Chains A and B, each alone.
Chain A
Amino acid sequence: MTTTARPPAPPVRSHPENRKWVGKSIRRVEDPKFLRGRGGYIADLVRPGTLHAAVLRSPHAHARIVSIDTDAAAALDGVYAVVTGAQAAELTEPLPDFGPDPAKHTWRCLAVDKVRYVGEGVAVVVADDRYLAEDALALIDVDYDPLPPVVDPERALDAGAPLVHEALGSNLAYERTFDFGDVDADFAAADLVVRDRLRWHRSGGQPLETVGAIADFDPSTGQLTAHTNSLSFTSYLFMVANTLRIPANKLDIHQVPAGGSFGSKLFVTKPLVLAAMCSRLVGRPVVYLEDRVDNISNCDHHGSDRVYDVRLAVTRDGRIRGIDIDTVDDYGAYIQFGVGHHGNALAQVTGPYTIDSVRYRVRAALTNKNQQGAYRGFGSEVNNWMLEQMVDKAARELGMDPVQIRRRNFIRPDQFPYFIPTGNVYDSGNYDAVLDQALEIGEYDRWRAEQTQAREEGRYLGVGLIAAQERSVFSATEFWFWFDEPGAPVTSMPESVTLNVDATGGITATLYSCAFWGNSPETMVAQLVAEEFDCDPHDVSIIYHGSQGGLPATGPGGSRTTVMLAGAVEGASAKIKRKARRAASELMEVDPDDLEWFDGGYQVRGVPEQRKTLGDIAIALHLFKHSFPEDVESGLEESQVFDHPYTTMPSADRKDLGVFYPFMGHACHVPVVEVDIATGEVRILAYAAVHDCGTLVNPRSLAGHIVGGTAQGIGTALYEEFVYDDTGQLITSSFLDYSIPTAMEVPHLRIGHVETPSPYTPHGIKGGGEGGRMMAPAALNAAVNDALAPLGVRVTELPMTPDRLRAAIRAAGVVTGGR
C-alpha cells in the first residue's frame, strides 16, 4: 500500500436519532398500480397506429454475410420497411461503447459484414403488427458463409485462433496487470501458498420483462420522443443522440417502470436505436419489444464468464498476507463496458480481510457469444466467490475452522475507515458482529452436530459459511482507471430531486432518472421526505421527469440509488425549510433564529402555540407574495443535484486507484445443504443471511432484496448457465433450458440485520440492492464442498449442476450405486 498523502475524507456526519419513518417497513407506494395490473410497463404504452418492429437473428455463431434478399419480405402487405445491417450502418452511427479501442471492435445495432454470435441481428422489419413482422422475417433470405467459431476463452487467446474482429488482430481485447503493495515479498514470507484454478460460467439477470422502446420521430420539429424501460443513464443520453444523429436537446426519453432488471436493463441502447431508426425512416411511431429469444440471445447483458488461477500467501497461524489473481474473462463478441467488472472487483478485492498486497492480472477474451453487460454484483460477486473459495481452501490446508480463519483476518471495527491495498476505502463495518449473528440464527453449532450424525448415516450434509463485501455507490472510476491515457477527472455520478410544496402543503418529488426496476425509489423518497416534513409517506406524490430539460441524473446501478436520492432529498428539503423558515418568520414577525421545526411546521421556540404549519406557509408563498420582501419569489419549490460524496483520483502510476466505492456493506451467509452423491442433486435444508447495509430505510424492502438476490445466487450456484456448445450454438435459448429457481428451489431464509451507519452518507445509509446474489454462490459452493469433504471432493466450477457434481465425485474415485 502506498503511504502517499490522500485527499481528506468528507466530514463525519452525525445522524439524527428517533427517526419516525426511516427504518420503518411501510407498504410500498409503488405497489397498488402493479397489484391492479396497471403498471404502465413499456408494452402497455403501445397506442393504436403504432407500427411493430421485429429482428431477424443469426443462426450462426460466426459467418460472413454474403447477401440478403429482402424483396419478398418488403412486398408483403402490411410491411412498411425492411432494413438490413448494411442499410442501418448508413442510417446510424455505432452504438455507445466504453470498451478499449471501440474502432477495432465496432458495435452496431445490426451486423454488417459478418455475424459474430448466434442471435445477432441482421435485419429489422417494420409492419402493422408483430405477427406480420414475424411473417416477413420468414421471407428474408440471408446467404451466410460460415466461419469457424471461437468458443473457449482461453483457446481464443491462442495464436491462430479464428478472429472475432479482424481489425483487432487478435481476440485479446484488453490485458493489464496491477500490483498493489509488495506482492512478491508477501509471497516470499508466506509459510503456505494456496493455489487453485476456478471456473465461473455465464448466467444473467433474465428479468421476466424483456427490453423495449417506443419511438416517435416528428419530422416537422426533428424531435424524437421515446419511451423505454432502459437507459438509466440520463446524463449520457447525448451518446444515443450521437448514434441516431439527432441533437441531444431534441431527444426526449421518458421513464417507464422496468419489469425487473438486475443490471440487465442498464443502459441498453440497441432497442431504442432500432425503434428510433425505424420511426424516422417510416414517419410513424414504432415499437420494438424484444421477445424472449431476442433477450436471452442478444440482451448484451450476459454476466461474468471467468477462469481464475489464484495464489494466496498465508502464514502458519492463518493470516492471509497477499493474493495473486490471474483471470481470463470471456466477454463475448463485443466489450461495451470494457473491463469495468474487474474495476468493480478491485473495490473490494481483499474482502473483509486485512490482506496487505494484491496482484491482479486480467485478460479480456473475445469469443462468438453475446457480450457481457451487467448482472447484480457487476463482477464483484465473482471475486467474492473466488476469495471465499481460497480462504476455505487455506483453512482446509491449515486444518483451521472456517469461522476461525475468518475472524483471524477480519478488519476490526476500530480500523475504519480502512484503505485496502487498491486504494479504495471501506467506510465502516463490524464483521464479527455480523458473523456472530449469522452463527446464531443459522444455528451453526446445531447443524455441525447434525452433520456429524448424518455422516455416520452415510449422508452428505454440508454447512457453508462465507463473509463477504457489498460495495455500494459507484463513481465511474472503475471503468477508466485501466487506461493511463486519456486520463479523466473523477466522475461525480449525480442524482437529482426537485421538491414542490403546493399551496395546500402537499409535497411532490420529481426524480430525473429511470429509477424503478423493482427496487423502491418512490417509497424510499417518500419515506425520506416524510422524515423531513413529518407527513405520511403515502401522501407524497412522486413523478418522473423526461430527459429533455431534466436535471443531472445517473439512475440505478452499483447499489447507489438510495444513498444518492437520500442526499438529493436532504439537500432539497434543507432549501425548502430555509425558505419556509424565513416565510414563517415574516408571517409571525419573529426572528427566524427563534423558530424551530416541529411536527410539520415552524414554531417559536418555547411558545408552541405560536406556529405556522407547512400548509400555512405554502399558501402564503403561493398566493400572497407581496406580503414578503422583494427577493422572495412566489411558490415553494427547490431542487438539489447531489454528487458522489466521496470519490478521489487514482494516482498517475495506478499504484493507488483512489476512492471509488466507499460505502461498504457486508454479509455473512450460512446455508446448509445435503448432496445426493448418486444423482448430484443439491438440496438446501436451511439458509441464514445476515447483512449490514448501514442504516435501514425500509427493512422489509431490504429483506426482499436479500431473499430475491439470494434466489438469483442459488440460480447462479446450481442451475443457471447460458450454454454455448462447441459450435457456438446457444443451447439454452428459452426458459425451458435456462433454469430459473422456482419456489421449490428457494428455501425460507432466516434474515438478520446489523446496522453500522456510514459516517459519510445521509442517515448513515449504504446501498443494499445486490448483496444476496453477491454472497449466495460463494456460500452454496462452500456448503457443497463441506458436504463432500469426506470424499476428498472440492467443486471449483459454477453452476454446480448434477452432471458437474457427478463428474467431480467420479473423478475422486467414489463409486456409487448409480452409473
Chain B
Amino acid sequence: MTEELQEITLTVNGRRHVLAVQPRRLLVDVLRDDLGLPGTHIGCEHGVCGTCTVLLDDASVRACITLAVQADGRSVRTVEGLADGMRLHPLQEEFWDKQGLQCGYCTPGMLMRAVEILEQVPDPTPDQVREGIASNLCRCTGYQYIVEAVLAAAPRMRSENPWDPTVPTEAKA
C-alpha cells in the first residue's frame, strides 16, 4: 500500500524545504514529523475545531485536512514563526498578559487565526474579533480573555514599535 513519493517545495516561516512525501500525507503531519515543528496541533481531524490552523499564502487553512502536496510551491506560516527570537509577538504577549490560554493546546491555531484577523481587519470591534475566532474551538477559556488579548494586540500591531517593555522575555519566564 506504500504510495510513490512526490517531491514538493514548502516555504515554512520563510525557510524553503524540498521534501519527498506520500501524496496521502497531511500537511500537519509533514510540519510536525518531517520538519520538526510540533507547534501545529491536531484536535478533531475533521476540520471543525481549528486547532491545526496555519496560514497558507496568508490565508488560514486546517492542516489536518490539507494534504502536504496541496501546499507545494506555497508558503506556510506556523506558530513557530511568530516570535522574534527572545521577543514574543505582540499577540503572544497579550495572550500571556490577559491569560488568553489555559491548557495551551488550541493556542497556536488560535494565534494564527488572530494574526489573519488582524492582517485583514487591523482595527476590529469586539464583535468582529468574536465572530472571527468562532472558527476555532477553545475548550478551556470560554474565549473572553482571548477576545481581550486580540483587541489589546491590535493597536500595538498597527504601531511603529509593537513591543511591550513590561513583558519579560523568555529568559525571565
Binds B, one of A383-391, A485-493, A732-740: A732-740
Which residues in window 18-69 of B have CB below 8 A to A?
22, 24-25, 32, 37-46, 48-49, 51
Contact B145 A707, beta carbon cutoff 8 Å: yes
Whether a CB of chain B sits under 8 angstroms from the CB of A483 is: no
- For A517, the chain B residues whose CB sits under 8 A away are 103
Contact A34 B99, beta carbon cutoff 8 Å: no
5 A-B residue pairs with Cβ-Cβ distance under 8 Å, sorted by A, are A36-B39, A260-B105, A743-B131, A746-B143, A748-B144
Assuming A27-B167, A78-B2, what are 17 further A-B pairs, CB within 8 angstroms? A35-B83, A35-B95, A36-B82, A37-B79, A43-B38, A76-B1, A131-B24, A292-B44, A519-B102, A700-B99, A700-B145, A704-B142, A707-B141, A740-B49, A742-B135, A743-B143, A749-B142
Q: If the complex has contacts A32-B173, A538-B173, are A740 and B105 also in contact, measured as CB distance less than 8 A?
A: no
Contact B101 A34, beta carbon cutoff 8 Å: yes
Whether a CB of chain B sits under 8 angstroms from the CB of A259 is: yes
Contact B46 A36, beta carbon cutoff 8 Å: no
Binds B, one of A58-66, A202-210, A351-359, A650-658: A202-210
Of B22, B39, B170, B172, which contacts A37 at CB under 8 A? B39
Contact B103 A518, beta carbon cutoff 8 Å: yes
- Within the assembled complex, what's the spacing in Å between the Cα atoms of A736 and B65? 14
- For A701, the chain B residues whose CB sits under 8 A away are 99
User: Interface size on A (CB < 8 Å)?
Assistant: 62
- Within the assembled complex, what's the spacing in Å between the Cα atoms of A30 and B51? 19
- For B49, the chain A residues whose CB sits under 8 A away are 208, 735, 740
- For A291, the chain B residues whose CB sits under 8 A away are 45
Q: If the complex has contacts A35-B107, A704-B102, are A743 and B41 also in contact, measured as CB distance less than 8 A?
A: no
Whether a CB of chain A sits under 8 angstroms from the CB of B153 is: no
- For A257, the chain B residues whose CB sits under 8 A away are 103-104
Q: If the complex has contacts A37-B39, A743-B134, are A708 and B140 also in contact, measured as CB distance less than 8 A?
A: yes
Whether a CB of chain A sits under 8 angstroms from the CB of B74 is: no
- Within the assembled complex, what's the spacing in Å between the Cα atoms of A38 and B32? 12
Of B24, B139, B168, which contacts A208 at CB under 8 A? B139
Interface of A is mostly: loop
Whether a CB of chain A sits under 8 angstroms from the CB of B111 is: yes
Contact B141 A36, beta carbon cutoff 8 Å: no
- Within the assembled complex, what's the spacing in Å between the Cα atoms of A704 and B134? 18
Of A260, A261, A292, A519, which contacts B45 at CB under 8 A? A292
Q: Of residues B22, B140, B170, which shows the largest number of chain A Cβ atoms within 10 Å of its Cβ?
A: B140
State how many angstroms separate the Cβ of B152 from the closest Cβ of chain A: 13
- For B10, the chain A residues whose CB sits under 8 A away are none
Whether a CB of chain B sits under 8 angstroms from the CB of A744 is: yes
Whether a CB of chain A sits under 8 angstroms from the CB of B80 is: yes
Contact A259 B104, beta carbon cutoff 8 Å: yes
State how many angstroms separate the Cβ of A311 from the closest Cβ of chain B: 36
Q: If the complex has contacts A257-B103, A746-B144, are A37 and B137 also in contact, measured as CB distance less than 8 A?
A: no
Whether a CB of chain A sits under 8 angstroms from the CB of B97 is: yes
- Within the assembled complex, what's the spacing in Å between the Cα atoms of A164 and B168? 57
- Within the assembled complex, what's the spacing in Å between the Cα atoms of A499 and B140? 30
Whether a CB of chain B sits under 8 angstroms from the CB of A90 is: no
| Binary CB contact string for chain B from 82 to 110 against chain A (1 if under 8 A, 0 otherwise) | 11000010001001111101111111100
- Within the assembled complex, what's the spacing in Å between the Cα atoms of A113 and B92? 52
Contact A711 B143, beta carbon cutoff 8 Å: yes
- Within the assembled complex, what's the spacing in Å between the Cα atoms of A340 and B32? 40
- For A32, the chain B residues whose CB sits under 8 A away are 88, 96, 170, 173
- For B118, the chain A residues whose CB sits under 8 A away are none
| Binary CB contact string for chain B from 131 to 173 against chain A (1 if under 8 A, 0 otherwise) | 1011111111111111100000000000000000001101011
Contact A43 B140, beta carbon cutoff 8 Å: no
- For B83, the chain A residues whose CB sits under 8 A away are 35-36
Instruction: Tally the A-B contacts, defined by beta carbons under 8 Å.
Output: 188
Which residues in window 13-29 of A have CB below 8 A to B?
25, 27-29
Contact B102 A708, beta carbon cutoff 8 Å: yes
State how many angstroms separate the Cβ of B46 from the closest Cβ of chain A: 5
- Within the assembled complex, what's the spacing in Å between the Cα atoms of A208 and B172? 29
State how many angstroms separate the Cβ of B65 from the closest Cβ of chain A: 12
- For A803, the chain B residues whose CB sits under 8 A away are none
Contact A704 B104, beta carbon cutoff 8 Å: no
Whether a CB of chain B sits under 8 angstroms from the CB of A262 is: yes
Q: Can you name the residue of chain B whose Cβ is closest to the Cβ of A289?
A: B42
Which residues in window 237-283 of A have CB below 8 A to B?
257-262
- For B48, the chain A residues whose CB sits under 8 A away are 734-736
Which residues in window 747-788 of A have CB below 8 A to B?
748-749, 772
Contact B105 A37, beta carbon cutoff 8 Å: no
Of A25, A41, A518, A707, which contacts B144 at CB under 8 A? A707
Q: If the complex has contacts A39-B105, A260-B139, A707-B144, are A209 and B99 also in contact, measured as CB distance less than 8 A?
A: no
- Within the assembled complex, what's the spacing in Å between the Cα atoms of A512 and B32? 30
Which residues in window 186-239 of A have CB below 8 A to B?
205-209
- For A292, the chain B residues whose CB sits under 8 A away are 43-46
State how many angstroms separate the Cβ of B102 from the closest Cβ of chain A: 4
- Within the assembled complex, what's the spacing in Å between the Cα atoms of A209 and B38? 13
- For B131, the chain A residues whose CB sits under 8 A away are 743-744
Which residues in window 685-720 of A have CB below 8 A to B?
700-701, 704-705, 707-712
Q: Of residues A34, A43, A709, A748, which shows the largest number of chain B Cβ atoms within 10 Å of its Cβ?
A: A34
Contact B142 A711, beta carbon cutoff 8 Å: yes
Contact B43 A208, beta carbon cutoff 8 Å: yes
- Within the assembled complex, what's the spacing in Å between the Cα atoms of A25 and B144? 16
- Within the assembled complex, what's the spacing in Å between the Cα atoms of A583 and B38? 47
Contact B142 A710, beta carbon cutoff 8 Å: yes
Contact A743 B105, beta carbon cutoff 8 Å: no
Q: If the complex has contacts A704-B141, A711-B143, A744-B134, are A258 and B40 also in contact, measured as CB distance less than 8 A?
A: no
Whether a CB of chain B sits under 8 angstroms from the CB of A631 is: no
- For B170, the chain A residues whose CB sits under 8 A away are 32, 36
Whether a CB of chain B sits under 8 angstroms from the CB of A309 is: no
Whether a CB of chain B sits under 8 angstroms from the CB of A31 is: yes
- For A39, the chain B residues whose CB sits under 8 A away are 104-105
Contact B103 A734, beta carbon cutoff 8 Å: no
Contact A38 B101, beta carbon cutoff 8 Å: no
State how many angstroms separate the Cβ of B35 from the closest Cβ of chain A: 12
Whether a CB of chain B sits under 8 angstroms from the CB of A132 is: yes
Whether a CB of chain B sits under 8 angstroms from the CB of A77 is: yes
- For B145, the chain A residues whose CB sits under 8 A away are 700, 704, 707
- Within the assembled complex, what's the spacing in Å between the Cα atoms of A710 and B172? 33
- Within the assembled complex, what's the spacing in Å between the Cα atoms of A292 and B133? 22
The 8 A-B pairs at the shortest CB distance, nearest first, are namely A37-B39, A34-B104, A259-B105, A518-B103, A707-B142, A711-B142, A37-B79, A44-B38
- For A710, the chain B residues whose CB sits under 8 A away are 142
State how many angstroms separate the Cβ of B92 from the closest Cβ of chain A: 4
State how many angstroms separate the Cβ of B33 from the closest Cβ of chain A: 8
- Within the assembled complex, what's the spacing in Å between the Cα atoms of A665 and B155? 39
Contact A209 B137, beta carbon cutoff 8 Å: no
- Within the assembled complex, what's the spacing in Å between the Cα atoms of A740 and B48? 10
- Within the assembled complex, what's the spacing in Å between the Cα atoms of A712 and B25? 34
- For B41, the chain A residues whose CB sits under 8 A away are 41, 43, 208-209, 259
- For A520, the chain B residues whose CB sits under 8 A away are 102
Whether a CB of chain B sits under 8 angstroms from the CB of A326 is: no
State how many angstroms separate the Cβ of A173 from the closest Cβ of chain B: 30
State how many angstroms separate the Cβ of B172 from the closest Cβ of chain A: 6
Q: Of residues A132, A704, A736, A749, which shows the largest number of chain B Cβ atoms within 10 Å of its Cβ?
A: A704
Contact A744 B105, beta carbon cutoff 8 Å: no
Of B32, B45, B78, B139, which contacts A207 at CB under 8 A? B139
Whether a CB of chain B sits under 8 angstroms from the CB of A676 is: no
- For B42, the chain A residues whose CB sits under 8 A away are 43
Contact A27 B96, beta carbon cutoff 8 Å: yes
State how many angstroms separate the Cβ of A577 from the closest Cβ of chain B: 26
Contact A207 B105, beta carbon cutoff 8 Å: yes
Whether a CB of chain B sits under 8 angstroms from the CB of A135 is: yes
- Within the assembled complex, what's the spacing in Å between the Cα atoms of A749 and B144? 8
Which residues in window 37-70 of A have CB below 8 A to B?
37-39, 41, 43-44
- For A30, the chain B residues whose CB sits under 8 A away are 104
Contact B46 A131, beta carbon cutoff 8 Å: no
State how many angstroms separate the Cβ of A229 from the closest Cβ of chain B: 10
